[in-house]
Amino acid sequence: MQYELIAKRYIKPLMESCDSSSLENLATLLEAVAKAYENDKFDHIMRSNDISDASKSQLILDMVAPANSTLVNNFIKLLAENGRLLLIPAISEQLSREISKANRTFTGRIYSSNVVDQVSVEAIARDLGNKMGAMISLSYVASDFDGIRVEVDDLNVEINFSKNRLNAQLIEHILKAI
């Protein structure tokens, strides 16, 4: 959580100063660097106090060198100067979220114990997207939830239909009618 707050401080100026294609390219590069942090050896190198910040910075600069972008190079150097190279995964994630918000494209998940076919997933995504005024793509995740639950985190949307809750409401309605 603390990384997200610091990452937002770096994202805001980037969003204000770059055009959409530059932001997309930066997000792609940062995502590739962020994946390197998933490697234990790379992460150990980046967290090591025995390796200089200049060497760490150069390692990342070498990774992004094919992009030949002064914006990216300067951004990496700024992070290195401030001792923030470990924030790259958080910055990458936050930048992707901000780009999604700007483009109104979001991803979410459908949880259910029953298999939901792709046609239904696409129909739910389309209908929810129409309601929210956004482009939403959903993926099915098998779970032990007795019903169906749809989550779109970046929109703070969670919709669920539980068989147990439906049965309880049906019984309650019948009892009130009697």
Pick the CATH number of 105-177 from 3.30.2320, 3.40.630, 1.10.1760, 1.10.760: 3.30.2320
pLDDT in tens, 56-105: 999 999 999 888 888 889 999 999 999 999 999 999 999 998 898 888 89
pLDDT at 163 exceeding the cut of 90: no
**Which residues are paired to 149 by β-bridges?**
111, 160
Here the tokens at position 129 are: 């997207």
Section 31-43 average pLDDT: 93
| CATH number 1.10.520.20 is the correct assignment for the domain at 2-100 | yes
Per domain, the residue ranges of the chain are 2-100, 105-177
The rounded distance, in Å, linking the Cα atoms of 23 and 72 is 10
- pTM attached to this predicted model: 0.75
